[in-house]
Amino acid sequence: MTVILVSSDNQDFKVDKEVAERSILIKNMLEDVGESDSPIPLPNVTAAVLTKVIEYCEHHRNDPVQVPEETDDPRKRSNDIEEWDMKFMQVDQEMLFEIILAANYLDIKPLLDVGCKTVANIIKGKTPEEIRKAFNIVNDFTPEEEAQIKKENEWAEDR
Amino acid sequence: MDPDRKEKLPDRQASSAFFSEQSRVGMNADRTDDDVSVKAKNDVKDIESKSKASKDHSDSGDTEGLGRKKITLGDMPAETLIHIGLTLPCREFGRFLQTNRTIHSCLNSHYVWHQRFTTRFGQTVLEDKLNSPNSNNPSKLSPPLTPRGLSQYNNHLDPVSAPSSPLPSAASSPRLNPSLPHTPPPNPSDDGSESDGNGNNGNGEGSSSSHAKRAPKGKGRRIDLRRTNMAPKEMLIDMYKQMSRLTLPAEDMMIAHMGNQFWRMIASGESRYGRLAELASVWWMDVVAVFYGVPPGRYKVQWRVKVTSDAPIVNTEFRAVLFDKHEDLNTVEEKPNTLTFKPTSKQEFIEQTDSQGGRVNKRPFRNLFKGFTTLELPGELLVEDDYRGVFVQIRNHDAWKSGLYIDYVRLVNVDEPEQRKESLVYGFHGQRVAAGNEPVDDEGEEYYPSTSSSSASSAGLLPWLQQVCGINPHTRTDPRPQFRSRAGRQFNPVQPSALLDVGARSVPVPNSTSTPVGGSTSSSQGGQGQSRKAVDEEGQPVERPDACLPL
């Protein structure tokens, strides 16, 4: 059974229901809508991003659906991204963030995890200034604040 | 925005300059808004409208196409930032907090710290800490929990200490109580007032006995989440700081019979922590340290100790056990060893330290007995997939021993390049050669300066120097065979008579459990017992230069 997803720029995407239901948001919508064939609008996701998202869901369509686990699940470590996922995530930063936002909106936890791990991997090994440069973050601390926060977090340097 | 700002920006791609401009705009607009999540909702719209507005002013175009919002990390909704923050390891998290205000206020929250804490250390320790009577003083930094078995010390006291120590009952001692964290006594001067002879140490009081009766159930132990969720942020951060350490000083170890009589804490400049645990004399030697939340990786366990006699190291077990966050700490001690090392001889011990080999140490035994050495347990701890705890222990429950100083114990992550250097096996020191195989290269002149140097009674600086440095100008090229292998010496006790012609030093009798440390003086020729100092002809102790020892 296929469903139709409509991106913010009015592009239609036909996907299998099983694939679409990797997104919990879509899954819930489909349950609410019932057997109707009407397309599902996704106003927060553009076509380019939706393409990527669908690609991910297709590839992982057979993965076991993750149940919400306790806080101490092992997903949170950055060193275990699959190879396919790593290649999949080799996009420019903007697309990376878009994917993360889309995964967040569509409630696709594995994709969100992979996205965040990718960002975490970019952050790894960088000093605060380098992080700012990498992500175009503006430093809006005053020098005193900056020094103070640095001091507060100094202990983390060797942990 | 004024065009001047753009010019001050570092040289980047035009689009990047444009978008950092834009994100600054976005943040300024929202700075009055304290609620980050509200900001997040408005984010996308703001950026979009402002991007259109700014575009009209700027020369640099949006290379991605008109009207598309460009997102930076700072513009991500709070929940996403939090998700990223939770994925970061400790060091990167600290650095990430320093990048800007939005990120800092989003990530330096109670929720995030709670999540980080429980992910790394688990809920069990959090609950235990909260249950301790010290929980109303969250700023007090307690050392890690004691996992000691409840009944272990109940009836078994050191045979000497039993009559002499004024200890009411072992069960009420907080250190022995599995539910209570081991804390140093509240009084700042804790030089010996924290012995288990003093029972409560200001910690257990009335509640300890009730806690003692409640046996934790093990893996299925239920956590009261209402309590653990209520731990304040500052307390969580403090506990995180304390518990994430991979180096534990002596004062944060659980040392049985720490007090005045058997073990004591002494101030010392030789330790970077300023304090050492000094073993005066004890029968039941049991030192435990627990690392919590050790990140995945491969680790070597290192103890920095000063050993002044055989007894505390020979037949002493040095072990390490991995345990999960959820495991009942009482059972950890009984678990099978992950790593274990039990030297049956001084030689074996030395092989695992940095006191041997290399160009510098011609007299390793002497160095071992004079200054600090680092013992690295053979084998590696493999922590994989999840944060785990590491329980390390030194134990020897037979016979009296004395002459041990403990500085710290640490885990060295050999997967991290900077730390790998610290390992004896992988690092710089690690030009150590497997002992026993290496031919002795000091021409047999370790303990036994040759006869001719004994004739250096002729006064003068040179003979003294030679003796002190172990230089024997009259050495034959053919070292006497009985001195070639140190290992051999261990098993063949040398008769004192054989030493008659070699000078003033005596052989330490193998496996001797020595007399307690009491600053023994040098022994004379053919004497028994430990000789720690070189003697010159007059029997006066001669100070050896310890220039080669990193102290």
The CA–CA distances, whole Å, from B99 to A96, A124, A132, B82, B112 equal 20, 14, 6, 14, 17
pLDDT at B143 over 90: no
Q: What is the per-residue pLDDT for B90? A: 92
The CA–CA distances, whole Å, from B377 to B310, B341, B343 equal 18, 6, 11
Mean pLDDT of chain B: 65
CB contact (8 A) between residue B386 and residue A94: no
Q: What is the per-residue pLDDT for B133? A: 56
B387 token code pair: 């944060």
Minimum-distance CB partner of A156 among B20, B31, B94: B94
C-alpha closest to that of B347 among B533, B488, B516? B488
pLDDT at B141 over 60: no
Q: What is the per-residue pLDDT for B438? A: 42
- Minimal Cα–Cα distance from A71 to chain B, Å? 6
Mean pLDDT of chain A: 87
C-alpha closest to that of B146 among B409, B330, B338? B330
Going by pLDDT thresholds of 50, 70 and 90, the confidence category of residue B356 is low
Q: Phi/psi zone of residue A103: left (φ > 0), alpha (ψ -120 to 50 degrees), beta?
A: alpha
pLDDT above 70 as % of chain B? 46
Higher pLDDT, B192 or A147: A147
Q: Which long-range contacts (CB under 8 A, 24 or more apart) does B45-50 make?
A: B47/B22, B47/B23, B47/B71, B47/B75, B50/B22, B50/B25, B50/B26
pLDDT at B498 over 70: no
Q: Going by C-beta distance under 8 Å and a sequence separation of 6 or more, which residues neighbour residue A63?
A: A110
- Give the helix ranges, DSSP H, for B31-70: 36-57
Higher pLDDT, B476 or B183: B476
Q: Please, are residues B507 and B499 in contact by the beta-carbon 8 Å criterion?
A: yes
pLDDT at B391 over 90: yes
Q: What is the per-residue pLDDT for B471? A: 66
Q: A78 contacts in B (CB within 8 Å)?
A: 87-89
Q: What is the per-residue pLDDT for A67? A: 62
User: In this structure, which amino acid lies at residue B66?
Assistant: L
d(CA A25, CA B494): 82
pLDDT above 90 as % of chain B? 28
| Helix, strand counts (H, E) of chain B | 19, 14
CB contact (8 A) between residue A120 and residue B88: yes
CB contact (8 A) between residue B246 and residue A159: yes
CB contact (8 A) between residue A77 and residue B101: no
Q: Which of A36-40, B190-194, B297-301, B464-468 has the lowest mean pLDDT?
A: B190-194
d(CA A16, CA B345): 70
Q: Going by C-beta distance under 8 Å and a sequence separation of 6 or more, which residues neighbour residue B519?
A: none
- A4-40 pLDDT, tens digit each: 999 999 999 999 999 999 999 999 988 888 777 788 9
pLDDT at B470 over 90: no
pLDDT at B264 over 50: yes
d(CA B503, CA B520): 19
Q: What is the per-residue pLDDT for B207? A: 38
CB contact (8 A) between residue A119 and residue B73: yes
Which of A153, A154, A157 is best to mutate for the B interface (most B CBs within 10 A)?
A: A153
Interface residue A126 vs chain B (CB under 8 A): yes
**Per-residue pLDDT averaged across B370-387, rounded?**
89
Going by pLDDT thresholds of 50, 70 and 90, the confidence category of residue A71 is very low
pLDDT above 90 as % of chain A? 67
**DSSP state at residue A13:** E
Going by pLDDT thresholds of 50, 70 and 90, the confidence category of residue B249 is very high
Going by pLDDT thresholds of 50, 70 and 90, the confidence category of residue B476 is low
pLDDT at B299 over 90: yes
Q: What is the per-residue pLDDT for B351? A: 85
- A116-137 pLDDT, tens digit each: 999 999 999 999 999 999 998 9
Which residues, numbered 26 to 45 in chain A, qualify as contacts with chain B under a Cβ-Cβ cut-off of 8 Å? 44
**DSSP assignment of B230-292:** T--HHHHHHHHHHHT-SEEEGGGSEETTBSSSSEEEEE-TTSTTSEEEEE--BSSEEEEEEEE
CB contact (8 A) between residue A141 and residue B101: yes
pLDDT at B107 over 70: yes
ipTM for the predicted complex comes to: 0.90
Most confident of B130-144, B179-193, B381-395, B457-471: B381-395
Q: What is the per-residue pLDDT for B378? A: 92
Tell me the count of A-B CB pairs closer than 8 A. Answer: 140
Going by pLDDT thresholds of 50, 70 and 90, the confidence category of residue A100 is very high
CA angle (B413, B416, B419) in 5-degree steps? 65
What angle do the packed helices B36-57 and B78-87 form, to 10 degrees? 110
What are the φ/ψ torsions at residue B338 (nearest 5 degrees)? -85, -45
Q: A128 contacts in B (CB within 8 Å)?
A: 95-96, 98-99
Q: Going by C-beta distance under 8 Å and a sequence separation of 6 or more, which residues neighbour residue A142?
A: none
CB contact (8 A) between residue A156 and residue B16: no
pTM of the full predicted structure? 0.61
Q: What is the per-residue pLDDT for B443? A: 44
- Minimal Cα–Cα distance from A95 to chain B, Å? 9
- B10-24 pLDDT, tens digit each: 444 444 444 444 444
CB contact (8 A) between residue B74 and residue A138: yes
C-alpha closest to that of B291 among B53, B88, B125, B43? B125
- Minimal Cα–Cα distance from A9 to chain B, Å? 11
Residue B9, helix vs strand vs coil: coil
Rg (CA), chain B: 31
B149 token code pair: 């078995």
Q: Going by C-beta distance under 8 Å and a sequence separation of 6 or more, which residues neighbour residue B70?
A: A94, B15, B19, B22, B47, B51, B62, B64
Q: What is the per-residue pLDDT for B348? A: 87
pLDDT at B400 over 50: yes
d(CA B312, CA B66): 76
Q: What is the per-residue pLDDT for B477? A: 53
Q: Which of B96-100, B402-406, B501-505, B537-541 has the lowest mean pLDDT?
A: B501-505
Tell me the β-bridge partners of B59: none
HSE-up of residue B397 (Cα within 13 Å, Cβ side): 9
Q: What is the per-residue pLDDT for B304? A: 94
Q: What is the per-residue pLDDT for B289? A: 94
**10 Å Cβ neighbour count for B426?**
16
Higher pLDDT, B119 or B24: B119
Q: Which of A111-120, A136-145, B339-348, B495-504 has the lowest mean pLDDT?
A: B495-504
Task: Label the pairing between strands A40-41 and A2-6.
Answer: parallel
